[in-house]
């Protein structure tokens, strides 16, 4: 090849490289982070003349998800075919109008998931808004654009729709406040419904004061003196669903509550077991396709009822339109439309019964001055286009966290808690249905202290790591032992997990964590931890005993018998092993 030919090849490659780079830059650097579908400006009325007070939301700007009607604009529902087949709204949603009348300026509509159906914020038609806190991660949905607009500082607050987590999840993934009010507390007119039994208009904000001000307008709440909680209950079993260590989260919440309200208000609860005793419908709704998940069957059943109700009502609302228009829709929507066709009225009636029972159960648990603390999501936001997003197992676990407030209709707020490995962390607070003002007051009171405690825990963690890992691991184990003796099972699990993270070659840490898992019904995790402990130390009697106990509960009688017999080989006079072996004989032919 001649030198001139080489020159042209190099020049061509250079131009191609420039084009590719420019395309990459275009994808990454989106205007407004891709949050807005269209921009406009709806101004508030003039300020009243003195001595009357100015409008309460004066100076604030907001955006609305593309499910809310704005006069003169098509409500697009996250789908171009929907926009093409529908006319512009004839009047503005009462909710949007009340915010404008309250002094705020509406500056545009934001992108939502296709037909507001998903929880992850990816939209193949209009693009996925960029998560400002983690650009390579999903922003969460269905109200993705509204969450991004707030997190990116483009507006002070934003409206979204929460059906099965559509405000709470993106709030958590984008590191901002996400508020799902009590079901039915805000007007249900002027927006597109997904599932009427579950739909709730929600709010995003960075500042708890802004959240409180705007919520008071929407909920028409009178200003009154703040109440302190009588009980702050940490849902230990819900935290077991998380895929990262929950130590920092629970410690930050615990310390904040102790500082603000006193140690006496703290309690730990297994919310799944509690619901099981209060909701007879859960047993009837247990579904056998939960990927073998037997950790918290009552929460899994509640989540299943929520998902059934969600897809059934969605199909009733939009099946005719889908059949007549044949629109381009996400695969998950078409798949759910097919699946929901087999749902019968008897099953749906049971789901509605579960809603009623969940409301009664949570009202009884929380009463007038109680708060339930639980995770909003399973951990950091998943990567864009990852298998995790489309995984049934991930979505089922996530829905167990969302179902508690969605099915009971209770109010819930997602609070940001700093970062874990540079990704947003959060926690949620739930109050009984109708206690929205109480919940907002608690958020206002706790927000700054929670941020401070998270920072202290982070510095403490960094300091511990700077010392020898073995010493730090032993310290965490000892703290775990203390927590175990005090019956603080979840705290013990978190501390043993911290010890394992620092030193994963110590059998005692795994065996101790297994003991704590047994106390909260985490039998699969206990079995796995004991197996690891035994691999590290073949003479660990406690690990054999605890694995035998877990296997017996799980119905693996033969394997349980083997564990107890081996424990007797190691320690022939062990009474626990002897009693268990005799008990199992009647189950084994």
DSSP E strands, 151-242: 157-162, 177-180, 200-205, 231-235
pLDDT at 462 over 70: no
* Number of residues written out for the chain: 589
For the segment 409-415, the average pLDDT, to the nearest whole number, is 98
Helices (H), strands (E): how many in the chain? 23, 11
Comparison of pLDDT for 134 and 471, the residue scoring more: 134
Residue 232 is predicted with a pLDDT of 97
Burial class for 223, CB neighbours closer than 10 Å (0-12, 13-18, 19+):
exposed
Of residues 126, 371, 128, the one with CA closest to residue 256: 371
Q: Indicate if the pLDDT at residue 57 is higher than 90.
A: yes
Of the pLDDT bands very low, low, confident and very high (cuts 50, 70, 90), residue 448 is confident
Q: What is the mean pLDDT of residues 222-241?
A: 89
Residue 292 is predicted with a pLDDT of: 40
Max avg pLDDT among 50-59, 135-144, 254-263: 135-144
- Point out the least confidently predicted range of 47-56, 321-330, 457-466, 546-555: 457-466
Where is average pLDDT lowest: 24-33, 65-74, 245-254? 24-33
Q: What is the pLDDT of residue 468?
A: 66
Q: Phi/psi of residue 200, each to 5°?
A: -145, 130
Q: Is the pLDDT of residue 16 over 80?
A: no
How far is residue 164's CA from residue 528's CA, in Å, rounded to a whole number? 32
pLDDT at 17 over 90: no
Arithmetic mean of pLDDT, 406-421: 94
Q: What is the pLDDT of residue 18?
A: 42
Asked whether 112 and 143 are in contact (CB, 8 A), the reply is: yes
**CA–CA distances in Å: residue 257 to residues 227, 230, 238:** 14, 11, 19
pLDDT at 27: 41
Q: Which residue has the higher pLDDT, 282 or 194?
A: 194
- Mean pLDDT lowest among 23-27, 396-400, 512-516: 23-27
Per-residue pLDDT band at 470 (split at 50, 70, 90)? confident
Confirm if 482 and 256 have CB atoms less than 8 A apart: no
CB atoms within 10 A of CB 224: 9
Could you tell me if 204 and 146 are in contact, meaning their C-beta atoms sit under 8 angstroms apart?
yes
What does the DSSP assignment read for 356-404? HHHHHHHHHHHTTTEEEEE-SSSSSPPBTT-HHHH-HHHHHHHHHHHHH
Strands ordered across the beta sheet of 61-65: 36-42, 105-110, 61-65, 157-162, 200-205, 177-180, 411-420, 423-431, 370-374, 231-235, 266-269
287 pLDDT higher than 90:
no
Please say if the pLDDT value at position 11 is more than 80: no
Tell me the C-alpha distance between 9 and 21, whole Å.
18
Average pLDDT, the chain: 88
458 has pLDDT over 50 = no
Tell me the percentage of the chain whose pLDDT exceeds 70: 90
**Confidence tier at 542 by pLDDT (50, 70, 90):** very high
**Range scoring the smallest mean pLDDT among 54-68, 150-164, 452-466:** 452-466
Pick from 19-33, 80-94, 117-131, 425-439: least confident: 19-33
pLDDT score of 246: 86
Closest CA to 436 of 246, 122, 185: 185
Q: Which residue has the higher pLDDT, 288 or 297?
A: 297
Domains and CATH numbers, the chain: 31-462 (3.90.1300.10), 471-587 (1.25.40.10)
The arithmetic mean of pLDDT across residues 341-349, rounded, is 77
**To 10 degrees, the CA torsion angle through 489, 493, 495, 497?**
180
Contact yes or no for 543/534 (Cβ under 8 A): yes
Mean pLDDT of 225-249: 90
Distance, CA of 167 to CA of 205 (rounded, Å): 11
Query: Tens digits of per-residue pLDDT, 363-393?
Result: 999 999 999 999 999 999 999 989 888 888 8
CB 245 within 8 A of CB 498: yes
DSSP assigned state of 276:
H
How sure is the predictor about 282, in pLDDT bands with cuts at 50, 70 and 90?
confident
pLDDT band at 233 (very low <50, low <70, confident <90, very high): very high
> Percent of the chain scored above 90 by pLDDT?
70
């Amino acid at each position: 090849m001649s030198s001139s030919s080489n020159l042209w090849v190099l020049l061509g490659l250079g131009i191609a490289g420039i084009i590719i780079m420019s395309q990459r830059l275009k994808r990454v650097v989106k205007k407004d982070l891709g949050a807005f579908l269209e921009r406009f400006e709806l101004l508030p009325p003039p300020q009243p003349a003195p001595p009357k007070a100015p409008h309460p939301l004066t100076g604030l700007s907001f955006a609305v998800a593309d499910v809310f009607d704005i006069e003169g604009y098509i409500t697009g529902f996250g789908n171009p075919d929907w926009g093409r087949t529908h006319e512009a709204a004839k009047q503005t949603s009462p909710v949007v109008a009340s915010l404008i009348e309250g002094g705020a300026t509406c500056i545009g509509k934001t992108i939502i998931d296709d037909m507001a159906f998903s929880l992850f914020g990816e939209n193949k038609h209009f693009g996925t808004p960029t998560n400002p806190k983690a650009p390579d991660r999903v922003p969460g949905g269905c109200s993705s654009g509204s969450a991004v607009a707030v997190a990116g500082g483009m507006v002070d607050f934003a409206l979204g729709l929460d059906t099965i987590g559509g405000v709470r999840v993106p709030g958590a993934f984008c590191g901002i406040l996400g508020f799902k009010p009590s079901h039915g507390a805000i007007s249900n007119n002027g927006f597109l419904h997904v599932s009427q039994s579950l739909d709730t208009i929600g709010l995003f904000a960075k500042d708890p004061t802004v959240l409180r001000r705007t919520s008071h307008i929407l909920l028409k709440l009178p200003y009154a003196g703040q109440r302190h909680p009588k009980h702050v209950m940490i849902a230990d079993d819900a935290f077991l669903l998380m895929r990262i260590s929950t130590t920092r989260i629970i410690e930050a919440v615990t310390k904040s509550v102790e500082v603000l309200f006193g140690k006496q208000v703290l309690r730990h609860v297994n919310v799944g077991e509690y619901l099981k005793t209060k909701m007879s419908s859960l047993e009837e709704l247990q579904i056998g396709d939960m990927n073998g998940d037997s950790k918290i069957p009552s929460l899994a059943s509640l989540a299943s009822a929520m998902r059934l109700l969600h897809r059934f009502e969605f199909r009733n609302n939009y099946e005719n339109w889908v059949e007549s228009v044949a629109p381009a829709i996400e695969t998950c929507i078409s798949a759910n439309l097919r699946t929901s066709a087999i749902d019968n009225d008897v099953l749906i009636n049971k789901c509605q019964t579960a809603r009623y029972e969940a409301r009664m159960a949570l009202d009884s648990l929380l009463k007038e001055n109680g708060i339930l603390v639980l995770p909003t999501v399973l951990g950091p936001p998943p990567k864009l286009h990852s298998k995790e997003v489309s995984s049934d197992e991930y979505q089922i676990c996530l829905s167990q966290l969302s179902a508690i407030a969605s099915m009971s209709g209770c109010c819930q707020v997602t609070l940001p808690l700093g970062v874990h490995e540079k990704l947003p962390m959060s926690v949620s607070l739930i109050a009984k249905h109708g206690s929205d003002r109480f919940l907002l007051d608690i958020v206002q009171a706790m927000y700054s202290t929670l941020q401070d405690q998270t920072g202290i825990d982070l510095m403490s963690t960094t300091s511990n790591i700077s010392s020898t890992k073995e010493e730090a691991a032993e310290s965490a184990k000892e703290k775990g032992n203390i927590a175990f003796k005090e019956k603080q099972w979840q705290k013990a699990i978190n501390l043993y997990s911290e010890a394992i993270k620092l030193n994963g070659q110590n059998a005692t840490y795994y065996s101790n964590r297994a003991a704590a898992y047994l106390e909260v019904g985490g039998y699969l995790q206990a079995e796995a931890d004991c197996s690891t402990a035994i691999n590290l130390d073949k003479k660990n009697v406690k690990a054999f005993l605890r694995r035998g106990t877990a296997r017996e509960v799980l119905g693996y009688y033969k394997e349980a018998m083997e564990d107890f017999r081996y424990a007797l080989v190691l320690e022939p006079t062990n009474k626990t092993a002897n009693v268990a072996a005799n008990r199992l004989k009647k189950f084994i032919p």
